[in-house]
Amino acid sequence: MFINRIQKRTAKFRASLLYLIFFLNSFSIVSQQHQEIVLLEAIENQASLSNTTINTIVQDSVGFLWIGTYDGLYRYDGHNLKSFQYEPNSNSGLASNIILELHIDNDNNLWGITPTKGIFKLDLRTEQIERFPELNKKIVELGGNTNSIYIQNKNIWIATNLGVIQLTNTNNTLALLQFYSSFTKNGNHPINKIICDDESRVWLGTNTGLFCLKKTKSKSYDWQEVYLGTSVFDLKKRNNKIYFASANHIFSYSKDSISTIKTIHQQNLIRRLSIDSQNNLWSGSSKSLVVFNKTLDQKTMNTKKCSFIRPDNFLKDIRCFYEDSSGVVWIGTAHGLFKYNYKKSLFKRYYFTNKDKKQGLPISALLPNTNQSLWVGTEGGGLVSLDNIYNQNSNITQKYIALLDYKNEAITAIGYDKRNTFFYGTRDSQQLVTFNSDLELSYINTSSNYKRYMDIETNSKGNIWLATINNGITHLEKKDNNAFSITNYTKDLSKNHNFPSNVVRSIAFDENKNIWFGTDKGLVLLTDTESKKNNPVFEVFQHKANTKNSISADFILPIITSTDNTIWIGTFGGGLNKCRFNEKTGTYDFTAYTTKDGLQNNTIKSLAEDDLGNIWMGTNSGISKLNPKTNNIKNFSKKDGLTDNVFMDLSATRLSNGMLAFGGQSGLTIFKPSEIKSNNFTTNLAITKLEINNIEIRVNTNLNDRILLKNTISNTQNILLKTGENNIAITFQNLNYSDQNDILSYKLEGIDKDWRTTKNALGIAKYSNIPSGDYIFKIKNFSNPDVKTKTLNIKVQSAHSFAILYILFFSIGVALIIYFKTRYSKKQKSKISSTNLEAKISAVDQDFITKIEQEIIIELSNPDFTVSQLVQKMGLSEYLCNKKLKKLTGFTTNSYIREQRLLKASELLRASNLTIAEITYKVGFRDLEYFRNCFKKKYGNTPSTYQKNKTQHT
């Protein structure tokens, strides 16, 4: 059967042009590019912060972020927040919940500063806090409120309202070395910020200008004026320059020269500065955030290269910036914590609307044009041309292409031939539309049967192959008279070929001129030899269970041929398949890549190869990248900057400049694969939680009468478990805040034969009934093999290991039993004696006891009441009082005072509705935990349990 290749419809085309003019007036396409805006996101579990004012952020060597707020200190791991708070009745914990600044020294200590309580130190190995009450008292007396802290080597510099305090930290001993007053002949200069440079100069940002403490020959420091007349709120150093934020502008100082940097802040009261590893300068005021994009190394900062951010509601009042080891910039504000992941700027995102203003249309087909544009087929918005797509420095424009059938705007496939004639198919049309560079539209009526075109491919001869949903394959073979002959291959028993299905989604050619088809009943091969026959024989590859080298699934979606002539097949539910011809066997072998190998999803909907031979996949859970040389898989999701997590069938392509484009459910993602690299920053794997027999083990947790962890589990290398402590759960994660889609692998050597994988960068490993022996728990980054493996040595002791000790101490144990039995007998007699004390002691002794009890009752609520004060009131020496009281009651004087406090506490618990804390205070205990322990030791129950059961004690 022969038809004319092109049947031009001039009248219809004119009508299309009129429709185009009308439609352009009501049609809009929205394109969003990362260069124009900095994308920020709030952290997870923001609600867990008791106060959303974020004053300071630092990162420790393990990878945890430490956050100082107006209501406590927090440790953040990307998922959870751990709180450290002020404890009024304890010498441990914070002395104040207002944390202004944090710094980490070279000895792995976290130092913090509070406005009125001075400084504190948190040992990052144990997470125990040390206060310095006497030293802080001197600091506050000298300088008033403390505002800023900086640590350089063994020197700790503290900026205050009245000057600078220099401390030395030698052998973990703090000493106040010097105080430098901020009073000069021009008055006082309250200090807002302090930093040190590499030349031992101390830079001070004050309310009146920039000052410097310069080291003299005598090793003291002289106060020098650098720049006056403006308030300086923040300081940063980079490349021998000091940058400082003022009430007016940003300034840079170098070699006695000061340069002014103009900003585009709505309000010039710039309070915070930061310089990231990409040479961006971040500046924040109370109303806006401005980023100078990669211009720090230039002589002048071009405000045209600024990103200006002013969200109306949440991102205001910038308090701090911090870049972590993975390159994420954190922004602390008065309204919470936000982060900017520079990797997200590497993915460009485009969104499209239709005439009904429906936003976020699915992108169903893509095809590069020869004039540096990209054809985009949408579902519901027709065909669009993105122009200037190759030139990143130009504005990308969008052009809507009129359709012959404007009622059908769902484009399902786009193709072209050697003469730059383009074709597209739609969801509901029976015709294949053609158009040229002048946008002259025509159509080819391939058959009267309804079909949905899913793929359009042309071979080297200019012949067209069409994949359809319900009509198999259509082959348009070019003839000499500019006509085509049409051949259909369907699942039809009346035909002499063996094509397996009418549902065909994809077509690909290999370098041997073979043709591959993807159907819902398997992968189909038509060799070049068979394609020349009238009744060709198709080779069908289908999944065979328990058969090595078989394809993993029958439902085939995309197919591509890579530059090394490997056939790559995406399947529905079976992951990615690599197909190579085996010269030895004369057959094709398949290798599957699934979620077991690191994919986030086993449905592969689109494929593209980059310039380095990596295979990129659009899936139902984002985009994945496979390195065929290493079999390493890297996953990306919407969190990384993609338009979607769900991508469309066959909607992927490579542009001539190496960029890749993927169509998603709501938009288009375009990126340069060479820029999407594995993280070059330092990243850490960490164990964040240990549970034994369902009990969480923390520092100083008592487990079976011993302390298992002296350091946090993140800072522990070895653990020793006893018999019966062999049910464990280990929580671990990748503390990389830019690549939180990384998949981790873990194994317990000695138990696991193979590595297990997690679904993301957070995992929990559980093991039950571990036999005695030595084990090594290992974690590695499956997505990034360059990350160092984390290990934990675990030893489980056997019951036999205690046998020798048992034999050695058996005789001692028997002796101890006899000893304690005798002692217990004496103690019981003593208790009986104490119980009948009033009946046995003389009247004189009774008066002595009564007088002591009266004195104790008078001072009962006084926690500072001592034995010395009591014996002074009794007119006795401490020795005689203690001896007599011990003889009459069995208690020492100090113990007797405590007994009376506990007796009164029990009465209050039975007869009042006071809280435990109130009763603790009323009976003179200074520490609530100590009171609980003493009470439980005497009465066998905690105060709260005793109070609940008070009817039993009346």
CATH of the domain at 54: 2.130.10.10
Q: In this structure, is residue 436 part of a structural domain?
A: yes
Q: 220 to each of 216, 344, 425, 665, 937, how far by Cα in Å?
A: 6, 48, 81, 66, 57
Going by pLDDT thresholds of 50, 70 and 90, the confidence category of residue 15 is very low
Q: pLDDT at residue 400 above 90?
A: no
Domain stop point among 344, 379, 398: 344
Q: Examine the domain organization and report whether 151 and 81 are in the same domain.
A: yes
**Pick from 619, 645, 671: which residue ends a domain?**
645
* Model pLDDT for residues 108-117, shown as the tens digit of each residue: 999 999 999 9
CA distances from 149 to 110, 166, 206, 494 (A): 12, 10, 14, 87
The residue-averaged pLDDT of 261-272 equals 70
Please indicate, yes or no, if residue 845 is contained in any of the structural domains. Answer: yes
Tell me the mean pLDDT in the region 308-321.
67
C-alpha–C-alpha distance, residues 544 and 550, integer Å: 6
Distance CA(109)–CA(740), nearest Å, equals 27
* 691 and 598 fall within a common domain: no
Report the phi/psi class of residue 766: left, alpha or beta, with left for phi > 0 and alpha for psi in -120 to 50.
beta
How crowded is the C-beta side of 517, counted as CA atoms within 13 Å? 30
Query: Does 383 reside within a domain?
Result: no
847-856 pLDDT tens trace: 788 888 888 8
Neighbours of 37 (CB within 10 A): 12
| DSSP tag of 11 | H
CATH code where residue 941 lies? 1.10.10.60
pLDDT at 841: 46
Percent of the chain scoring above 90 in pLDDT: 38
Q: Is the pLDDT at 277 greater than 70, yes or no? A: yes
* Per-residue pLDDT at 402: 57
pLDDT tens digit sequence for 731-745: 999 998 887 777 889
Please report which confidence band the pLDDT of residue 370 belongs to, taking 50, 70 and 90 as the band edges. confident
Q: Which amino acid is at 563?
A: T
How many Å apart are CA 570 and CA 577, to the nearest integer? Answer: 6
Kindly state whether residues 884 and 770 are assigned to the same domain. no
| Average pLDDT for 553-579 | 95
Please state the rounded mean pLDDT for residues 741-760.
89
Residues 822 and 787 in one domain: no
Residue closest to 781 by CA, chosen among 805, 757, 814, 753: 757
- Indicate the angle between helix axes 893-911 and 928-939, nearest 10 degrees: 90
Radius of gyration of the chain (CA): 39
Q: Does residue 862 register a pLDDT over 60?
A: yes
| pLDDT tens-digit map of 414-471 | 888 877 778 888 777 667 777 766 666 677 766 656 567 888 888 877 788 999 888 8
Structure confidence at residue 836 (pLDDT): 47
Strand order in the sheet with 257-261: 232-238, 241-246, 250-254, 257-261
Residue 148 bridge partners (DSSP)? 159
| 510 and 539 inside one domain | yes
Q: Is the pLDDT of residue 305 over 60?
A: no
Does pTM top 0.85 for this prediction?
Answer: no
374: pLDDT strictly greater than 60: yes
Question: Closest by alpha carbon to 72, among 83, 59, 61, 88?
Answer: 83
Residue 169 has pLDDT above 50, yes or no: yes
> CA-CA-CA-CA torsion for 125, 82, 931, 695, nearest 10 degrees?
-80
Residue 62 has pLDDT above 60, yes or no: yes
* CA angle centred on 181, ends 176 and 185, rounded to 5°: 165
pLDDT by residue (tens digit) across 877-912? 888 888 888 888 888 888 888 888 898 888 888 887
Length of the chain: 954
Cα(889)–Cα(891) distance, rounded to whole angstroms?
5
Predicted confidence at residue 30, as pLDDT, reads 39
Question: How much is the pLDDT for 396?
Answer: 63
Sequence-ordered list of residues with C-beta below 8 angstroms from that of 665, at least 6 positions apart, any chain: 360, 362, 644, 646, 647, 648
Q: Residue 374 domain-assigned?
A: no
Burial letters for 397-428: b for 16+ Cβ neighbours within 10 Å, e otherwise? ebebbbbbeeebbbbbbbbbbeeebbbbbbbe
**Distance separating alpha carbons of residues 452 and 379, to the nearest angstrom:** 13
Whether 637 and 542 share a structural domain: yes
At 496, is the pLDDT very low, low, confident or very high (cuts 50, 70, 90)?
low
Q: Is 531 exposed, middle or buried (0-12, 13-18, 19+ CB in 10 A)?
A: middle
How much is the pLDDT for 590? 96
Residues 571 and 591 in one domain: yes
Q: Is 85 helix (H, G, I), strand (E, B) or coil?
A: coil
764 with 885, same domain: the answer is: no
Same domain, residue pair 47 and 117: yes
Residue 393 lies in a domain: no
37 has a pLDDT exceeding 80: no
What's the CA gap between 85 and 71, in Å, rounded?
8
Total domains in the chain come to 5
Q: Three-state secondary structure along 470-483?
A: CCCEEEEEECCCCE
Residue 289 is assigned to a structural domain of this protein = yes
Q: What's the chain's average pLDDT?
A: 82
Lowest-confidence region among 12-16, 183-187, 576-580, 761-765: 12-16
Q: Indicate the residue among 344, 371, 388 that finishes a domain.
A: 344
Cβ burial, residue 781 (10 Å; 0-12/13-18/19+): buried
Question: Which is more confidently placed, 256 or 713?
Answer: 713
CA distances 382 to 20, 414, 594, 663, Å, are 11, 12, 34, 14
SS3 content of the chain, % helix, strand, coil (to 5): 20, 40, 40
Of 231-240, 670-679, 723-732, 757-766, where does mean pLDDT reach its minimum? 670-679
Q: Kindly report which listed range (94-103, 248-257, 596-605) carries the lowest average pLDDT score.
A: 248-257
Report the pLDDT value the prediction gives residue 571, as an integer from 0 to 100: 95
Q: H-helix or E-strand containing 624?
A: strand 622-627
Give residue 494's pLDDT band: very low, low, confident or very high (50, 70, 90).
low
CB neighbours (10 Å) of residue 49? 20
> Could you tell me which residue, 287 or 709, shows the higher pLDDT?
709
| % of the chain with per-residue pLDDT over 70 | 81
Q: Is the pLDDT of residue 388 over 60?
A: yes
Question: How confident is the model over 134-149, as a mean pLDDT?
Answer: 93
CA distance linking residue 783 with residue 761, whole number of Å: 10
- What does each C-alpha distance from 198 to 193, 480, 903, 923 come to in angstroms? 17, 80, 64, 57
pLDDT of residue 233: 93
Name which of 266-275, 438-447, 799-808 the model is least confident about. 799-808
Query: What tokens appear for 161 in the block?
Result: 């309202």
* 734 and 853 co-located in one domain: no
- My answer on whether 750 and 853 are in the same domain is no
pLDDT at 307 over 90: no
* Least confident range of 66-75, 424-433, 626-635, 899-908: 424-433
Confirm whether 357 is domain-assigned. Answer: no
Residues 791 and 805 in one domain: no
Question: 506-535, pLDDT tens digit by residue?
Answer: 999 999 999 999 999 999 999 999 888 888
- 759 to 561, 634, 783, 924: CA distances (angstroms): 29, 12, 11, 54
Quote the domain boundaries for residue 71: 41-183+241-344
Q: Is residue 288 part of a domain?
A: yes
Number of H helices, E strands in the chain: 13, 70
CATH code for the domain in which residue 793 is found: 2.60.40.10
At which residue do the structure tokens 């058996």 appear? 810
Which of 172, 163, 157 has its CA nearest to residue 143?
Answer: 163
> Alpha helices, DSSP H only, in 494-577?
528-531
